[in-house]
Amino acid sequence: MKKILWKLLVAVLLPLAFVGCEEPAEENLPTIQVGTEVDAPVEGGPHALVYSLENPTEGESLAVEAISAEWLHDFVVSEEAVGFVIDDNLALGATSREATFELHYGGRSLALITVRQGTLDGTFAVEVHKVTPETVEFTITPSNPSITYLVNVAPKSYIEEHGGLEKYALIEADVYRKSFYGDILDDYLLSGTVTKTITIQGAPEEPMWLWVAGVVRAADQERTPVVAAEPAYEEFQFYPYPILSLQSYSHHLESTEAGTLSVRYSIENPFEGGELKVEIADDGQSWVRNVVINESDRTISFDYDENLYAIERKATIYIHYDYSEVCEFVLTQVANLGTKDINFEIVVKEVHYDRVVVDCVPDDLEVEYVLGAIAKRDFESASHNSDPTKIPELDLVATYPTYEILSGSQSGVTLQNTAISYDTNWYIYAYAINDTHDAAISEVKMVLTELVEDRPYFVWDDERIVVTEYSNTLSVDNTQQTVTVKYSVANNHPTGVVVIEEPYDDTLIKDESGKRVSHNPEAQTITFTVSANTTKRARSTFIYLKYFSSEGDDYSDANTSLKISQSR
């Protein structure tokens, strides 16, 4: 019986025992969605780690704990991101590194963040290709193509005085960063394989370094850049400056005939790639030509033409080797005494602002001759060198003649050239010319004359016209009327012509025939009709007058205008 009761009690209590020991259901805990791996740039700088929080708890906030390295700092937590600053890893010899920190919420660690940062190490291959007295050509090949670097040339002793190449490279970088033009360092930072040439004033006796250093900016642009790769250099010396010498620096040709001349030269300190250059100055380009440089026997040869002129002439030849001083060789040639000794009597009869009238009498009335004029400043310019023998040369190659070919005694010849009328001093010249008109056969006879200021100008002979420095104005009332005004031309030429330019698209001045302005050249008057003004506003128009010294002239010698102003 007792056993039966015990079994019944156990059967009743056993289920109650299981109910009393059952664990309560788990609540939804906060979780975080965030990237746990950060690849930091070698330059460092600020970084934002974006996250999202699920099942947040009221009154709790995210916190950063267990920061494993000092190069991660200045953490700021917002509702969307964790911000922090990463130091750069640019120091020379730096190694890759790793650091961690935890994100805690409500006393629990929700995530472990790992930050990894590499380095910008690398080496440079420096190859010098060509050296001259002032240039060095080279190629730089970095092992790390992503690194930026500076390259330059400096004396070895100067770099050593500044503490070695690494320190000197930083000094150079700061010079560019704090230059007069502002921060121009980026303009000089290179990357990848580069071939270029640097030009400086060389010192041949002093060892030079062509140096290269991996220079990288930090994230903070104001900081001094750092050298992030081992500097390298190639030592060289500039070549000594060459010295060019000529066996003779002048030669006098005793014959007027054409020929060939050779000049011997020598070069001290020549260098590979150096080039000898020869240039003929303007004073001899026409009769000295065909320059040939013979390097094997160190000679310069050139041809010269026959001297057809009755005056000695010269030519200057400039000879130059790269980086040397320029040598001048002067060639002179005797006058051609076989030419005709002809004299010209030139008498200036009239002088005006743009022309002269002359008489010319040669002592050989059978010969043909050129009579012309040239401005004094043109004659004395570098292209002519005040050499009278250049005048025939200038004439005979001119695209338009500024002279006349005459013969016998001439009286009242007018010489005019508007292209040179800006100069008040002119040379009047004459020289005999051969039958083919391509060479002078006598000396050039010259006479200097000074032009006078007798330029034509308009004068308004009408008291109704108000004349000021800048305008001539005729005021009329608003009624229709016909107006005649008189003008005159001071310093008028005997062949002078006045041309009227009428107003365009104007209704102020008109007549029934449609011709707006009538001109009477004999009376020197212009007549026009002014229409009545019904516009209730003032209006005006202009009439333009031009004066030409002759009917065939292209350019006017004088200009004026008349403003007609009508009241409202």
Q: For 32-50, what is each residue's pLDDT tens digit?
A: 999 999 999 888 889 999 9
429 near 446, Cβ under 8 Å? yes
Closest CA to 133 of 362, 325, 398, 348: 325
What's the rounded Cα separation, in Å, for the pair 530 and 193? 81
Q: For 167-185, what is each residue's pLDDT tens digit?
A: 999 899 889 988 888 889 8
Q: Hunting for tokens 């401005």 — which residue is that?
A: 375
pLDDT at 484: 94
Q: For 523-540, what is each residue's pLDDT tens digit?
A: 999 998 888 888 878 888
What's the rounded Cα separation, in Å, for the pair 515 and 494? 28
Closest CA to 564 of 501, 455, 471, 491: 471
Token readout for 467 is 């004349």
138 near 195, Cβ under 8 Å? yes
pLDDT at 281: 86
Q: For 87-126, what is each residue's pLDDT tens digit?
A: 988 776 677 899 999 999 988 999 999 999 987 778 899 9
What's the rounded Cα separation, in Å, for the pair 179 and 172? 11
pLDDT at 506: 65
What's the rounded Cα separation, in Å, for the pair 455 and 548? 11
Closest CA to 434 of 407, 399, 403: 407
Give the chain's end-to-end CA distance (angstroms, integer).
145
pTM: 0.51
What's the rounded Cα separation, in Å, for the pair 405 and 372? 9
Instruction: Produce one character per residue of 403-441: b if its CB has 16 or more CB atoms within 10 Å, e if not.
Output: beebeeebeebebbbeebbeeeebbbbbbbbeeeeebbb
Ramachandran area for residue 162 (φ above 0: left; ψ -120 to 50: alpha; else beta): alpha
pLDDT tens track, the chain, 568 positions:
434 433 433 344 344 444 444 444 456 889 999 999 999 988 888 999 999 999 998 889 999 999 999 999 999 999 999 999 999 887 766 778 999 999 999 889 999 999 999 877 788 999 999 999 999 999 999 988 888 899 999 999 999 999 999 899 989 988 998 888 888 988 999 999 999 999 998 788 899 999 999 888 776 666 667 777 789 999 999 999 999 999 999 999 999 999 999 999 999 999 988 999 999 987 666 789 999 999 999 999 999 999 877 678 889 999 999 999 999 999 999 888 766 778 999 999 999 888 899 999 999 999 999 998 888 888 887 666 677 877 887 777 665 566 788 999 999 998 876 544 567 889 999 999 888 787 788 888 999 999 888 889 999 999 999 998 888 999 999 888 889 999 999 988 888 899 988 776 566 776 555 557 889 999 999 998 888 888 878 888 888 999 998 888 778 889 999 999 988 7
Query: What torsion, rounded to 10 degrees, do the Cα atoms 388, 390, 396, 401 define?
Result: -60
What's the rounded Cα separation, in Å, for the pair 219 and 224? 11
- Stated as kind and residue range, the H or E segment containing 228 is strand 226-236
Q: Hunting for tokens 């699920």 — which residue is that?
A: 54
What's the rounded Cα separation, in Å, for the pair 21 and 24? 9
